[in-house]
Structure 1
Amino acid sequence: MNMYQSDLRNVHDQCKNYQSYHVTLTMTDGRTMDGIIDNVTMDHVSVLVGEDVMDREEETESDTRYYGGFGGYGVPRRRFRRFRRFDFPLATIAALALLPYIAPPPAYPYYPYYPYY
Structure 2
Amino acid sequence: MNAENYDYENHFRNLYEKCRKHRYYLVSLTMADGSTMDGIIEDVDRDSVSVLVGEDVMEQESGNVSDSRQYGGYIRPRRRFRRFRRRTFPIATIAALALLPYISPYPYYQYPYYPYY
TM-score (norm 1): 0.76
SS in 1 for 2:96: strand
User: Which digits, 9 at most, give the CA deviation of each residue in 1:42-86, with x for residues without a partner?
Assistant: 0000000000111123451x325xxx6269844221111110000
SS in 1 for 2:15: helix
SS in 1 for 2:61: coil
Percent identity reads 57
Larger-Rg structure: 1
Corresponding residue number in structure 2 for 1:41: 45
CA distance in 2 between partners of 1:23 and 1:53 (Å)? 20
Corresponding residue number in structure 2 for 1:83: 84
TM-score (norm 2): 0.76
Q: Which amino acid aligns with 2:66?
A: D
Q: How many residues align?
A: 101
What residue ranges of structure 1 are gaps of 5+ in the alignment?
107-117
SS in 2 for 1:91: helix
Q: Which amino acid aligns with 2:88?
A: D
Q: Which amino acid aligns with 2:92?
A: A
Displaced runs of 4 or more, over 4 A: 70-74
What residue ranges of structure 2 are gaps of 5+ in the alignment?
1-5, 108-117
After superposition, the CA RMSD in angstroms is 2.2
Higher relative helix content: 1
Offset at 1:99? 0.7
Corresponding residue number in structure 2 for 1:96: 97
